A and B are shown apart, each in its own frame.
Chain A
């Protein structure tokens, strides 16, 4: 049985002006020790889905449908008091911006100990020792002294290590990392990703890695979900997704981000157009207005995720990019850049 099983999760924001359809029915399983990537452009609902799973949506947001099964419980139906026992203990979360995600007026050590004391019933000294140990583990030098420092005395990368320390302090079964490296510079990014990779391996944690950067999932994730306008549009083992993207959006994403392994000449082609307005929920594929392969059917009926090239690779598209064409498109972009 999967460690975490999300079933048809739907999240909406009810604001004064409009209803925002932020997440429109996503489903996935996470196994113990598995590393899952979720990629997509800004605003596609990545953060909202993870906040929804933990029950910490902003006030205007509500889960309107679906289940989040963890063990034998559905987190969506859980009382907040019970959910609080799970947050921080069984499921840890790391946020995007380490500069603003730590409390500026509390010592770093206290921010780590408070989660230990809440969940593990430790006394002050025990929690302090454990905090030093966990900070040491995430690679903070002189951790036993640095617990007395404040966040502003740490660099961005070190702060993100502190965030990770807080998230893994109670040895959670699941770690959700929402763009953990986006706010950091490239060398630090690599260090943080290495750290996460190592921790997941040692602890056997399930990791959900949220990012808009395909380079990040390529390095770590066994499986990757591509998200667009609140839905998963393609899901596959990461290698396969990179080699044979079948959804036009995935292909577009791949061609619009620089890749370390790409040849110098390969030109970046941005996806034309902008993501749809989430306050209007239309029938049809939400990518259709930007899609070169779109047909009348795409515009009228919403495609569901369905197996393609075997059960592991699934795509929600009426006209998946033909296998052969993936190569042609790639080479034609090469030619275009040559001329």
Chain B
């Protein structure tokens, strides 16, 4: 098992390297440039050149890349052109926000999706199965931002049950040693703050988690149906095991294999979904940050942000593969 993990870790190195090259080139292929973005359309040729020289953009690409790589390895992702803040600082502040949001969204998707899919499979072709099938179809095809706006309108604006924007009530003072507000509230022992943070998370998390929920439910249903027809389930029944044991040990454990893969993929995709959701709820996470950076051609932020996103994607995938290996002995022992 350890060998497997180490091998997977080593494999991520070339992936990350290739990725950094791609991101580096991609950013430079964008129309316009940071100088234009900073100085405006009517900047003079000289001032543009001066800014480019300041930023090192006049050097040959390989040289730019190598110095970029050296900086990354030393933990320096550069500074934002527009705010002048170090990107690492910004990441430290925004990553916990998006992480919290994504974790809640996924928690919602998994906690609701797996039982839903399981029940649908057990009631195969029954009323509940058909209802959940239609519901999940709607869930998948509903645009995230539309759902977010709708929820915001109904629950925040009309009913006033939930806050509309941000991560926490602006008037509340809470120390942020970790940046994960839920965690910070626990550390501070501040129950009210915890609830407040949670209330700020509910709508964005549901908006973000709806598509994964629908997909997890459908995959669970399909996987359980598949496994129910397997010979080893018949064997388990022939042993006289109780139905709950058959379901837990024999059906669900096998059905979880494809579900885990899908959860991983969805977690990766969640990061893209976060861009829309965070914008609607003015949630100060990575998504809204990158969206702004693209608008202002903030090379360093785009580069750093996308690289970070990609890194997270790889980490998530690694975690998925490891948990898959834990669940599936046929992989573990190869």
Contact = CB atoms under 8 A, between A and B. Distances in A.
B323 to A, nearest CB: 13
Given A103-B250, A105-B327, A153-B333, A89 B240 contact: yes
Contacts of A153: 333
Nearest to A115: B239
Given A103-B232, A114-B249, A56 B237 contact: yes
B232 A100 contact: yes
A88 B231 contact: no
A48 interface: no
Contacts of B242: 84, 118
B44 interface: no
Interface residues of A, number: 32
B81 to A, nearest CB: 52
A103 B328 CA distance: 11
Interface residues on B, range: 20 to 34
B interface, over-half SS: helix
Interface string B300-330: 0000000000000000000000000001111
B330 A101 contact: no
Interface in A82-99: 83-89, 92-93, 95, 97
A107 B230 CA distance: 17
Contacts of A152: 329-330, 333
B333 A101 contact: no
A107 B333 CA distance: 13
A88 B254 contact: no
A105 B327 CA distance: 7
B110 to A, nearest CB: 19
A153 B333 CA distance: 9
Given A105-B327, A105-B328, A115 B231 contact: no
Contact of A88 (B230, B234, B239): B239
Contacts of A84: 240-242
Contacts of A95: 231, 234-235, 238
Interface string B243-260: 001000110011001000
4 nearest CB pairs, A to B: A88-B240, A87-B240, A88-B239, A100-B231
Given A153-B333, A166-B235, 13 more contacts: A51-B234, A56-B234, A89-B240, A103-B235, A103-B249, A104-B329, A106-B249, A106-B250, A114-B241, A115-B241, A118-B240, A150-B330, A166-B239
Interface of B: 230-232, 234-242, 245, 249-250, 253-254, 257, 327-330, 333
